[in-house]
């Protein structure tokens, strides 16, 4: 039975994500933090007759740090969807200037109040915000790389749905669990359709269809941004995806079943398989890969998948690596300045 804190709980993602968490029987306390509107969200959720209790924390002013620290006190899992989303024509990197400072201050709160928590970063640009959280926790001497997760699950969710849509009579989206590796923005997103559950169906596609499918996974977020026409980016599908990763982490705490998810992680020697992965991705310090989850977080990086990919996927990886290096560096230098 755990305490989960959602930072940015009153937002487009925060609200439906908190709803899903409120329904999880393993969660004892749901702690909701935002800089606006959060008391209303909490009051609303608190009427649901599931067992998790709901508490809300709203700072009384810009200087008030106590609300955040109280929200985080004793949290086992912290999920961060705080920050601004994209508008049409924006890339995730365009959000950096605003979201980097928000993430840094929230990570400082985590370092002080819940240094042992699992931390799931949804706020974009994930390729840079995850290094910011890592460096901030390092500065405070409380960094545990096995417990830091960049949430890329929406890319997997989209990859499963989009291939199923191409084979409506032979498949359904729940048949698949595509490994999507690299990062979480445009060309850094690399779906590995050639391996695993989708291999045979993918092979049947023409070269043009393959290209279109991969492009749709890489830029699927734009479909939602355009359809929302200035009112934000993916929120409901993102809440589902963030919940899926949180649920998998909670499952790995309570069951002996092997749980594997893709996540954007820090490739450090303490994590089994991370050094091998790092060599295979050209020395990058962060990368999204399938990982085995356990009671202490990320137990093992399933790097072997990198040795099984097609030549076309290798080419996609080369492009991804180049962009990722810049995104990672941007996050690290912001946090260490
Ligand atoms: P939103 O604007 O609807 O909600 C963000 C919430 O964060 C607002 O309630 C706002 O008050 C709050 N907030 C701002 N500063 C804060 C602070 N210092 N502390 C706590 N809360 C704060 O935005 P939405 O649509 O919920 O998106 C949130 C973030 O998630 C964006 O950065 C977006 O780009 C990202 N995102 C990530 C995805 C992923 O796959 N990882 C997918 C979709 C969105």
Ligand 1 lined by 59 (C-beta under 6 Å): no
Which residue has tokens 């490994």?
Answer: 179
Whole-angstrom distance, CA of residue 127 vs CA of residue 131: 7
pLDDT at 17: 98
d(CA 247, CA 8): 19
pLDDT tens-digit series, residues 117-168: 999 999 999 999 999 999 999 999 999 999 999 999 999 999 999 999 999 9
Residue 256: the pLDDT is 87
Picking from 209, 188, 148, the residue whose alpha carbon sits closest to that of residue 327 is 188
CB of residue 58 inside a 6 A radius of ligand 1: no
Average pLDDT in the 93-104 region? 93
For ligand 1, pick from 6, 79, 82 the residue to mutate: most ligand atoms within 8 Å of CB: 82
Is the beta carbon of 83 within 6 A of some atom in ligand 1? yes
Which residue's alpha carbon is at the smallest distance from atom 43 of ligand 1? Answer: 234
CATH number among 3.30.70.380, 3.90.110.10, 3.20.20.140, 3.40.50.300, domain 152-337: 3.90.110.10
| pLDDT for residue 89 | 84
CB distance 154 to ligand 1 below 6 Å: yes
Task: Report the nearest-CA residue for atom 38 of ligand 1.
Answer: 122
Q: Which of 319, 284, 280, 324 is nearest to 303 (CA)?
A: 280
Q: Coil, strand, or helix at residue 55?
A: strand
Q: How far apart are CA 205 and CA 256, in angstroms?
A: 38
> Rounded to whole angstroms, how far apart are CA atoms 101 and 110?
14
- Ligand 1 centre from 38 Cα, in Å? 13
pLDDT in tens, 180-212: 999 999 999 999 999 988 999 999 999 999 999
Query: Ligand 1 centroid to 1 CA: how many Å?
Result: 27
> Any idea where the domains of the chain sit in the sequence?
2-150, 152-337
Residue 184 falls in the annotated catalytic set: yes
312 CB-near residues (< 8 Å, 6+ apart): 194, 210
> What pLDDT is attached to residue 70?
98
- Give distance in angstroms: CA of 82 to centre of ligand 1: 4
The two domains 2-150 and 152-337 share their CATH topology (first three levels equal): no
Residue 201 Cβ contacting ligand 1 at under 6 Å: no
Q: Could you report the per-residue pLDDT of 238-248, keeping only the tens digit for each? A: 999 999 999 99
Q: For residue 325, what are its two tokens? A: 């290096």
Question: Under DSSP, is residue 179 helix (H, G, I), strand (E, B) or coil?
Answer: strand
In short, whether 36's Cβ falls inside 6 Å of ligand 1 is yes
Nearest CA to 311 out of 210, 166, 185 is that of: 210
Centroid of ligand 1 to alpha carbon of 17 (angstroms)? 12
pLDDT tier at 30, thresholds 50, 70, 90: very high
Whether the pLDDT of residue 49 is over 80: the answer is: yes
Architecture of domain 2-150: 3-Layer(aba) Sandwich (3.40)
Residue 233 beta carbon below 6 angstroms from any ligand 1 atom: yes
ipTM over cut 0.90: yes
> Whose C-alpha lies nearest to ligand 1, atom 14?
83
Ligand 1: atom nearest CA of 153 is 40
């Amino acid at each position: 039975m755990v305490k989960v804190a959602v930072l940015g709980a009153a937002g487009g993602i925060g609200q439906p994500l908190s709803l899903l968490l409120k329904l999880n029987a393993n969660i004892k306390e749901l702690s909701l933090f935002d800089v606006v509107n959060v008391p209303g969200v909490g009051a609303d959720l608190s009427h649901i007759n599931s067992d998790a209790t709901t508490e809300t924390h709203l700072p009384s002013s810009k200087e008030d740090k106590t609300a955040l620290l109280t929200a985080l006190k004793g949290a086992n899992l912290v999920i961060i969807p705080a920050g601004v989303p994209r508008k049409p024509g924006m890339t995730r990197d365009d959000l950096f200037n605003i979201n980097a400072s928000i993430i840094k201050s929230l990570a400082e709160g985590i370092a002080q109040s819940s240094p042992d928590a699992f931390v799931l970063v949804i706020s974009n640009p994930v390729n840079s915000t995850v290094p910011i959280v890592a460096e901030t926790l390092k500065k405070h001497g409380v960094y545990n790389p096995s417990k830091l997760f960049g949430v890329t699950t929406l890319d997997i969710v989209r990859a499963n749905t989009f291939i199923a849509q191409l084979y409506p009579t032979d498949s359904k989206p729940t048949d698949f669990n595509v490994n999507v590796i690299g990062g979480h923005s445009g060309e850094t997103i690399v779906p590995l359709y050639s391996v695993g559950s989708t291999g045979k169906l993918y092979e049947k596609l023409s070269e043009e269809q393959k290209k279109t499918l991969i492009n749709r996974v890489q830029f699927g977020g734009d479909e939602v941004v355009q359809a929302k026409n200035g009112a934000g980016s993916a929120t409901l599908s993102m809440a589902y995806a963030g919940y899926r990763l949180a649920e998998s982490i909670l499952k790995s705490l309570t069951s002996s079943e092997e749980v594997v998810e893709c996540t954007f992680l820090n490739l450090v020697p303490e994590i089994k398989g991370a050094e091998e992965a790092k060599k295979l991705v050209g020395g990058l310090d962060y990368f999204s890969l399938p990982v085995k989850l356990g009671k202490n977080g990320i137990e093992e990086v399933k790097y072997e998948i990198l040795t099984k990919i097609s030549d076309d996927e290798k080419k996609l990886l080369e492009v991804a690596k180049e962009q990722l290096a810049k995104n990672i560096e941007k996050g690290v230098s912001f946090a260490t300045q």
